[in-house]
Amino acid sequence: MPEQDVTAVAAASAQAGETSMLPALPPVCVVLGWTHLVNDEKISAIGAYVRGDLSPRPADLAQIERSAAFGWEAAHRADTRRTSRKAIQCGVDLLAFCVVPLAGLVVYWAGGQVGRGLQVLSVIEALVVVGPAVQVVLYAGVFGPGRR
């Protein structure tokens, strides 16, 4: 489970009373978050394929309405709470994969005794976390065009 990796880093840091382990959070969260985002995109692509390419074929053969062939693909997208669910999921993804590592870095920086090299590295890590954060928001499509 991905959250166990993040929890393990945070717990080890807290138990040791060492903030020096917290810069491990951004790489872990970026890898896990990107993997989650890519997998979610593939699932959405499968849904688009079923709706657009696959469902018309059996519907035409069975001489039924196209939406009836794979009703789930139309029904779950018509749910009135879909937009709020997508916004909440976007928030959860941002929290898990972006806010947690950034908060870890803030605690690390506030802990003092940060060497110049590690400080530069941790700032780079913070900037790297912003990339997936932007992609999570754009891909969620809650706030404009491109909704899935």
Task: Tell me what pLDDT residue 13 has.
Answer: 60
| Res. 138: pLDDT tops 60 | yes
Task: Tell me what pLDDT residue 54 has.
Answer: 78
Asked if 59 and 69 touch (Cβ cutoff 8 Å), the reply is: yes
d(CA 23, CA 41): 28
Q: What is the pLDDT of residues 6-42, one digit of tens each?
A: 566 666 565 566 778 889 899 999 999 999 999 999 9
Task: Tell me what pLDDT residue 82 has.
Answer: 83
Whole-model pTM: value is: 0.75
Q: What is the pLDDT of residues 56-79, one digit of tens each?
A: 777 677 777 766 666 666 677 777
- What 8-state DSSP symbol labels residue 21? G
Q: How many residues does the chain have?
A: 148
d(CA 12, CA 22): 9
Task: Tell me what pLDDT residue 38 has.
Answer: 94
Helix (H, G, I), strand (E, B) or coil at 114: coil
Q: How confident is the model at residue 92 (pLDDT cuts 50, 70, 90)?
A: very high
Q: What is the mean pLDDT of the chain?
A: 81
Which residue has tokens 């138990």? Answer: 15
Task: Tell me what pLDDT residue 36 has.
Answer: 94
